[in-house]
Amino acid sequence: MEVYFDNAATTVVYPEVKELMIKLMEEDYGNPSSFHMKGVKAENYIKEARNQISKHIKCQEKELVFTSGGTESNNLAIIGGALAKRRAGKHIITTGIEHASVRETMEFLSREGFEISYVDVDETGRVDLEHLKSLIRDDTILVSTMYVNNEIGTIEPIADIAEIIHEKNKSALYHVDGVQAFGKLTFSPKKLGVDLFSISGHKIHGPKGSGALYIKDGVHIKPIIYGGGQQKAMRSGTENVPAIAGMGLAADIIYTNHSERIEKIKSIKDSFIEKVTRFEKVFNNSGCAPHIASISFVGVRSEVLLHALEDRGIYVSAGSACSSNKPHASNVLTAIKLPKEQLESTLRFSFSEFNNMDEVDYTLKVIEELLPTLRRYVRK
């Protein structure tokens, strides 16, 4: 049996999306910037994708810029935002539990002379709002937090964060990395009070290499890629039409009968957590996101359990990458102050609508078989 429980890493593409993309590569392969009919046709696919996404996150079509994925969206928002605002100040706030594409971008800006502050999170990974309040200054130009944490599934109080930011500093931008929220939660960046919002296609059964950044109408940031002036010069480069159209269609599918899809995923997650924590010394660190379960198997190194599961056809992620030579615990698990024995023994199981309860039962059975052996053989 093959069980794919790594849907926070990437997802299988919807068959409809695949078909559409093939058509766009075989037939409607025009360059949207071309003046002829093939160009117009290609452009229409992009318009359609804009429409499909904007109607579900309730924004204007012109507020979306298509990118190569979540990483580029985060880079564009943070670097582009910081450059546009640098005359107003050099202070930026983020958290210690961000995805590498935010964390490393912040490190880059720090080397370029920006000052980065890190707001505390509590033991569930939620941003400490009081601490945030105390960090915001007159020269704060940008705040960036994620919506749903990719390792433990914490849902951040975006609306509360936005309110605090805009209350204390009217001109500071608020960027949200919404990659793990898009397709899983129902939201509107505008209603949440967010200025910049990153989304990705391949986490919602769309293609890899697809993503978008919501830029609120009236908010100005600098582009980070220059060239032919596509997408109103905010993101030059010939649009990746198959990826954009694929992402649009995937968004449209996942947000149709959305609550049913999410209920199903959530019931799989809840059932898995409820049953797996019945095993001895197995702990749940998961937040409220419907698709992510973070589980610690004390006494087993996460990497070893991952490979043992893989051997039985079950694919998951390690919450931390540990090797004998270079212990490198996950930032997220460290930030929520997991005890050391849990730090190196945590796995992430992440679910999609294509999973089912049989897969959960099979996985539980395998884990039950593996745990005693794996716990017996440890480094002394």
Partner 1 sequence: MDYKMFLIKYAEIGTKGKNRYVFEEVMCKRMRARLKPLGNFEVRREYGRIYVEAFSEYDFDDVIAALGTIFGIVGICPVKVVEDTSFDNLADEVVSYVKEEYGNKAMTFKVGARRNDKSYPKSSMEINCDVGAAILDAFDLMSVDVHNPDVMINIEVRNVAYIYSKTVPGPGGLPVGTNGKGMVLLSGGIDSPVAAYMIAKRGVEIEAVYFHAPPYTSERAKQKVIDLGNIVSRYSGPIKLHIINFTDIQLAIYDNCPHDELTIIMKRLMYKMAEELALKSDCQCIITGESIGQVSSQTSQSLYVINSAIRELPVFRPCIGLDKQEIIDISEKIGTYETSILPYEDCCTTFVAKHPVTRPKLEQILKSEEELKGKIEELYEKAMNDIQIVHCR
Catalytic pick from 42, 322, 332, 343? 322
Q: Scanning residues 325 to 364, which ones bind partner 1 (CB under 8 A)?
A: 325-326
323 binds partner 1, rule: CB under 8 A: yes
Contact 8, 204 (CB under 8 A): no
Give the whole-angstrom CA distance, residue 164 versus residue 161: 5
Nearest of 207, 214, 208 to residue 181 by alpha carbon? 214
How far, rounded to the nearest angstrom, does the alpha carbon of residue 261 sit from its chain's CA centroid?
18
Mask: binding to partner 1, 152-191, rule CB under 8 A, as x and -?
----------------------------------------
Give the whole-angstrom CA distance, residue 167 versus residue 153: 28
Q: Which is nearer to partner 1, 224 or 304 (CB)?
A: 304
Nearest of 8, 37, 95, 45 to residue 241 by alpha carbon? 45
Q: Which is nearer to partner 1, 172 or 306 (CB)?
A: 306
Q: Which is nearer to partner 1, 87 or 376 (CB)?
A: 376
Shortest Cβ 10–partner 1 spacing (Å): 17
Q: Which is nearer to partner 1, 191 or 307 (CB)?
A: 307
Give the whole-angstrom CA distance, residue 145 versus residue 98: 7
Does residue 313 come out as left (phi exceeding 0), alpha (psi in the -120 to 50 range) or beta?
left
Nearest of 224, 160, 201 to residue 52 by alpha carbon? 201
Shortest Cβ 318–partner 1 spacing (Å): 11
365 binds partner 1, rule: CB under 8 A: no
User: Quick one: which segment of 22-30, 198-206, 216-224, 324-332 binds partner 1 (CB under 8 A)?
Assistant: 324-332
372 binds partner 1, rule: CB under 8 A: no
Shortest Cβ 335–partner 1 spacing (Å): 23
Residue 288 annotated as catalytic: no
- Residue 234's identity, in one-letter code, is M
Encoded tokens for 263: 């209920």
Q: Which is nearer to partner 1, 87 or 380 (CB)?
A: 380
What is the DSSP-derived secondary structure letter of residue 12?
P
Tokens 């190196």 found at: 344
Q: Is 117 helix (H, G, I), strand (E, B) or coil?
A: strand
The three-point CA angle 161-167-169 to 5° equals 95
Shortest Cβ 319–partner 1 spacing (Å): 16
Q: Which is nearer to partner 1, 152 or 374 (CB)?
A: 374
Four-point Cα dihedral 108, 114, 115, 118, nearest 10: -40
Q: Scanning residues 290 to 319, which ones bind partner 1 (CB under 8 A)?
A: 303-311
380 binds partner 1, rule: CB under 8 A: yes
Contact 225, 87 (CB under 8 A): no
User: Quick one: which segment of 28-36, 57-65, 101-109, 372-380 binds partner 1 (CB under 8 A)?
Assistant: 372-380
Q: Which is nearer to partner 1, 212 or 374 (CB)?
A: 374
Shortest Cβ 312–partner 1 spacing (Å): 10
Shortest Cβ 370–partner 1 spacing (Å): 8
Tokens 């220059």 found at: 226
102 binds partner 1, rule: CB under 8 A: no
Q: Which residues are catalytic?
A: 322
> Interface residues with partner 1 (CB under 8 A)?
303-311, 323-326, 374, 377-380
